[in-house]
């Protein structure tokens, strides 16, 4: 069996694990990061896309609010390339209590959040589609954050400092000796090969799967509650600013503009299993109805795709009875020290938190590791920019179009919705070396616009076939598994124009390519949802 050695093993390649790998590598530790799938394929790749100003939590969860206020400023400084500075509005709709606005402002002042009340008419001038019945409005520094750029940049930074980033490597077991974790056995999910990683310290950043990981070291009862939320992408930017309802956090009360689309979300219910989070029709109906309160007519826009994610909410069974409602569990984070809690050394678990606070979470985690090792090394992530952020510019929606126009005559356009040219696609395929079109989607947003892959995916499959020298069966398998994955997100929202679009996509893939009878079809793992393409 192949063996690897590292000073630090990070389990989980979501935002928290990527930030922890970057932090530890910057402090000079030799790091290996493993994820059972691609980077950010867990909750981080299924979140709402909001860089919180903290406004959402100022009344209910002041500590979480303060953390967001501070981290919002830091992330804008260190990873501007992943952030679109949309700004945010909190608005009092006719269904909300106007007096909450006073508590909101008071909370903002206490948390140090620069919020400002503006006339409702001014808010409607900024965002004309917002409910004309709003009575109050407040501006806050919310923004949209691209998680794939974030995680890609942090892991590239870690790798530049010597870290090894092993995607598609699942932890099967933790090794223990003399009351401490000494590494892990992992399996390469693409080749089936198993390897042993000998590690001086293990950081468990596996989010909603954290309890499953520590059970491998015989540790029971750490309280990670999977809090499920759904989100729906609408087919264009209904707003250009993040728009929140000014009320206690509830369902469907935030609309986030993300690149060419806008996303309404979310819900918060306890899930039994983080890997089983289907979306029910009634959840879709309720979400669209909630969205109508913010933007009347929202349900007449085309719903492109629905998906769900699971919050790794922390509530230890040693810290009192569990909250009945997942919304009542704090959004702050906790480092679980298994030496103190369970007598198992050299293992720490990160639990809770937000994507907005991932840097701080990583700092707390690596600080705790340094303390346990008796090897204090200062954290540098507050000021150091990972690769791709050198010019200090925020992401601008128009940048891709500007770049595209410069090569309009010379380069073939593969994805019209997201303006992805052939050169960029080939570069991504070459550098990532993946067989999965879904991985390429995450890197470039390929197939994530209004046609949801209808026009670009068969082109991308052909290009992948040539670039990666896939054989016909591998290329077919990749296309089919992409279509299956898309289908899961599309079938619960099939009505109106989206139904027409899905029929068109179906004709393209069935009629032109006869995808259901491609050579490999039988070998593709059917998704949990209805098996159709
Ligand atoms: C619906 C919803 C909306 C949200 N919206 C926002 C928002 O707008 N803004 C915000 O700041 N926060 C938001 N959050 C919270 C935020 O998304 C999470 O806190 C954050 O993404 C968690 O990141 P993570 O790295 O801890 O977990 P994950 O991203 O889930 O990473 C854990 C990783 O561990 C891997 N893993 C699991 N088991 C194994 C194993 N055996 N071996 C190897 N790897 C393994 C998984 O594949 C996964 O990639 C939202 C959460 C939800 C659910």
Average pLDDT over residues 359-387: 98
Cα–chain-centroid distance for residue 448?
14
Give residue 473 CA to ligand 1 midpoint distance, Å: 32
The two three-digit tokens of residue 164, written as one number: 């090894």
pLDDT band at 319 (very low <50, low <70, confident <90, very high): low
Average pLDDT over residues 415-441: 87
Question: Could you identify the atom of ligand 1 that is nearest to the CA of residue 44?
Answer: 21
Question: Could you identify the atom of ligand 1 that is nearest to the CA of residue 256?
Answer: 8
Q: Rounded distance, CA 125 to CA 148, Å?
A: 32
Q: Rounded distance, CA 481 to CA 506, Å?
A: 15
Question: Could you identify the atom of ligand 1 that is nearest to the CA of residue 266?
Answer: 1
pLDDT tops 90 at residue 475: no
Give residue 429 CA to ligand 1 midpoint distance, Å: 25
Give residue 215 CA to ligand 1 midpoint distance, Å: 19
Residue nearest to atom 2 of ligand 1 (CA): 47
Question: Could you identify the atom of ligand 1 that is nearest to the CA of residue 356?
Answer: 11
Of residues 89 and 399, the one with the higher pLDDT is 89
Q: Residue 390: how many CB atoms within 10 A of its CB?
A: 10
Of residues 25 and 319, the one with the higher pLDDT is 25
pLDDT band at 525 (very low <50, low <70, confident <90, very high): very low
Strands 31-34, 164-166: pairing kind: parallel
Of residues 411 and 24, the one with the higher pLDDT is 24
Give residue 242 CA to ligand 1 midpoint distance, Å: 21
Contacts of 140 (CB under 8 A, 6+ apart): 53, 54, 55, 87, 88, 89, 90, 108, 113, 114, 115
pLDDT band at 517 (very low <50, low <70, confident <90, very high): confident
Give the per-residue pLDDT at 325: 65
Give the per-residue pLDDT at 296: 96
Question: Could you identify the atom of ligand 1 that is nearest to the CA of residue 45?
Answer: 29
Query: If we measure between CA atoms, which residue out of 417, 426, 422 comes closest to residue 450?
Result: 417
Give the sheet arrangement for strand 50-51, strand by strand: 50-51, 143-145, 83-84
Which among 49, 165, 206 is the best mutation to test ligand 1's pocket, defined by most ligand atoms within 8 Å of the CB?
Answer: 206
Beta strands in 211-316 (DSSP E): 224-234, 242-245, 254-258, 261-265, 269-270, 303-314
Residue nearest to atom 1 of ligand 1 (CA): 229
Q: Rounded distance, CA 388 to CA 156, Å?
A: 9
pLDDT band at 316 (very low <50, low <70, confident <90, very high): low
Residue nearest to atom 26 of ligand 1 (CA): 207
Give the per-residue pLDDT at 285: 94
Least confident of 109-118, 189-198, 398-407: 398-407
pLDDT band at 317 (very low <50, low <70, confident <90, very high): low
pLDDT band at 526 (very low <50, low <70, confident <90, very high): very low
Give residue 42 CA to ligand 1 midpoint distance, Å: 5
pLDDT tops 90 at residue 363: yes
Give residue 171 CA to ligand 1 midpoint distance, Å: 17
Question: Could you identify the atom of ligand 1 that is nearest to the CA of residue 16?
Answer: 25
Q: Rounded distance, CA 265 to CA 228, Å?
A: 11
Give the per-residue pLDDT at 533: 32
The two three-digit tokens of residue 3, written as one number: 């063996």
Give residue 262 CA to ligand 1 midpoint distance, Å: 21
Give the per-residue pLDDT at 328: 65
**pLDDT tens, position by position, 16-49:** 999 999 999 999 999 999 999 999 999 999 999 9
Average pLDDT over residues 123-130: 97
Give residue 15 CA to ligand 1 midpoint distance, Å: 7
pLDDT band at 521 (very low <50, low <70, confident <90, very high): very low
Give the per-residue pLDDT at 452: 87
Give residue 356 CA to ligand 1 midpoint distance, Å: 12
Average pLDDT over residues 263-287: 92
Least confident of 88-102, 374-388, 502-516: 502-516
Give the per-residue pLDDT at 223: 74
Average pLDDT over residues 366-395: 97
Give residue 12 CA to ligand 1 midpoint distance, Å: 9
Query: If we measure between CA atoms, which residue out of 196, 205, 192 comes closest to residue 173?
Result: 196
Of residues 398 and 217, the one with the higher pLDDT is 217
Give the per-residue pLDDT at 497: 86
Residue nearest to atom 9 of ligand 1 (CA): 50
Q: Rounded distance, CA 506 to CA 42, Å?
A: 28
pLDDT band at 324 (very low <50, low <70, confident <90, very high): low
pLDDT tops 60 at residue 456: yes
pLDDT band at 532 (very low <50, low <70, confident <90, very high): very low
* 387 to 147, 278, 284, 320, 392: CA distances (angstroms): 15, 36, 38, 43, 11
Give the per-residue pLDDT at 327: 66
pLDDT tops 50 at residue 418: yes
Ligand 1 surroundings by CB, under 6 angstroms = 11-17, 34-37, 41-44, 47-50, 52, 170-171, 205-209, 229, 231, 266, 309-312, 353-356
Residue nearest to atom 39 of ligand 1 (CA): 36
Average pLDDT over residues 87-102: 98
Give the per-residue pLDDT at 477: 86
Give the per-residue pLDDT at 133: 98
Give residue 310 CA to ligand 1 midpoint distance, Å: 7
Q: pTM of the entire structure?
A: 0.89
Give the per-residue pLDDT at 151: 98
pLDDT band at 214 (very low <50, low <70, confident <90, very high): very high
Give residue 17 CA to ligand 1 midpoint distance, Å: 9
The two three-digit tokens of residue 17, written as one number: 């694990």
Average pLDDT over residues 143-160: 98
Give the per-residue pLDDT at 530: 32
Question: Could you identify the atom of ligand 1 that is nearest to the CA of residue 274?
Answer: 30
**pLDDT tens, position by position, 218-244:** 998 787 888 899 999 999 899 999 999
Question: Could you identify the atom of ligand 1 that is nearest to the CA of residue 254?
Answer: 8
Average pLDDT over residues 469-473: 78
Average pLDDT over residues 415-433: 88
Give the per-residue pLDDT at 388: 96
Which among 18, 32, 48 is the best mutation to test ligand 1's pocket, defined by most ligand atoms within 8 Å of the CB?
Answer: 48
Question: Could you identify the atom of ligand 1 that is nearest to the CA of residue 172?
Answer: 41
Helix boundaries (H) for 374-471 = 399-406, 422-432, 437-444, 457-467
pLDDT tops 80 at residue 315: no
Give residue 324 CA to ligand 1 midpoint distance, Å: 22
Q: Rounded distance, CA 320 to CA 254, Å?
A: 31
Give the per-residue pLDDT at 322: 54
pLDDT band at 450 (very low <50, low <70, confident <90, very high): confident
């Amino acid at each position: 069996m192949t063996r690897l050695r590292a000073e630090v093993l990070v389990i989980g390649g979501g935002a928290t694990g990527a930030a922890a790998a970057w932090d530890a590598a910057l402090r000079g530790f030799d790091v290996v990061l493993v994820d059972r799938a691609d980077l950010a394929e867990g909750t981080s790749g299924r979140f709402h896309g909001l860089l919180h100003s903290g406004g959402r939590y100022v009344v209910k969860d002041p500590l979480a609010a303060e953390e967001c206020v501070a981290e919002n400023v830091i992330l804008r400084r260190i990873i501007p390339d992943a952030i679109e500075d949309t700004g945010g509005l909190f608005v009092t709709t006719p269904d909300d209590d106007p007096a909450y606005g006073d508590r909101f402002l008071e909370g903002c002042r206490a948390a140090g959040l620069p919020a400002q009340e503006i006339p409702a008419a001014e808010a409607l001038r900024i965002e004309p589609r917002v409910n004309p019945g709003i009575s109050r409005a407040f501006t806050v520094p919310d923004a949209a954050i691209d998680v794939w750029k974030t995680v890609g940049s942090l892991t590239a930074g870690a790798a530049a400092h010597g870290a090894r980033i092993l995607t598609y490597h699942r932890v099967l077991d933790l090794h223990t000796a003399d009351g401490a974790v000494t590494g892990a056995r992992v399996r390469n999910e693409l080749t089936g090969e198993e390897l042993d990683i000998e590690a001086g310290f293990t950081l468990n950043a596996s989010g909603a799967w954290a309890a499953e990981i520590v059970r491998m070291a015989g540790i029971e009862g750490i309280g990670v509650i999977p809090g499920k939320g759904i989100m729906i992408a609408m087919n264009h930017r209904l707003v250009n600013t993040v728009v929140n309802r000014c009320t206690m956090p509830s369902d469907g009360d935030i609309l986030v503009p993300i690149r060419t689309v806008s996303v309404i979300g979310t819900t918060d219910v306890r899930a039994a299993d983080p890997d089983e989070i289907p979306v029910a029709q009634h959840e879709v109906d309720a979400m669209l109805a909630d969205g109508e309160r913010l933007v009347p007519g929202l349900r007449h826009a085309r719903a492109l795709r629905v998906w769900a994610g699971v919050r790794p909410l922390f509530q230890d069974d040693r810290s009192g009875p569990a909250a009945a409602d997942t919304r009542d569990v704090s959004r702050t984070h906790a480092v679980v020290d298994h030496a103190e809690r369970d007598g198992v050394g050299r293992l720490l678990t990160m639990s809770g938190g937000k994507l907005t606070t991932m840097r701080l979470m990583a700092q707390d985690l690596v600080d705790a590791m340094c303390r346990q090792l008796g090897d204090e090394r200062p954290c540098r992530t507050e000021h150091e920019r990972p690769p791709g952020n050198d010019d200090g510019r925020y992401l601008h929606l128009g940048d891709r179009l500007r770049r595209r126009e410069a090569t309009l005559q010379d380069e073939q356009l593969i994805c019209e919705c997201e303006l992805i040219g052939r050169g960029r696609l080939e570069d991504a395929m070459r550098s990532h070396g993946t067989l999965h079109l879904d991985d390429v989607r995450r890197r470039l947003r390929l197939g994530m616009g209004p046609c949801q892959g209808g026009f670009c995916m068969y082109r991308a499959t052909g290009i992948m076939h040539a670039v990666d020298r896939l054989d016909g069966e591998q290329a077919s398998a990749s296309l089919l598994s992409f279509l299956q994955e898309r289908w899961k997100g599309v079938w619960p929202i099939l009505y109106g124009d989206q139904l027409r679009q899905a029929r068109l996509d179906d004709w393209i893939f069935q009629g032109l390519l006869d995808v259901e009878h491609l050579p490999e079809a039988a070998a593709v793992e059917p998704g949990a949802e209805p098996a159709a393409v």
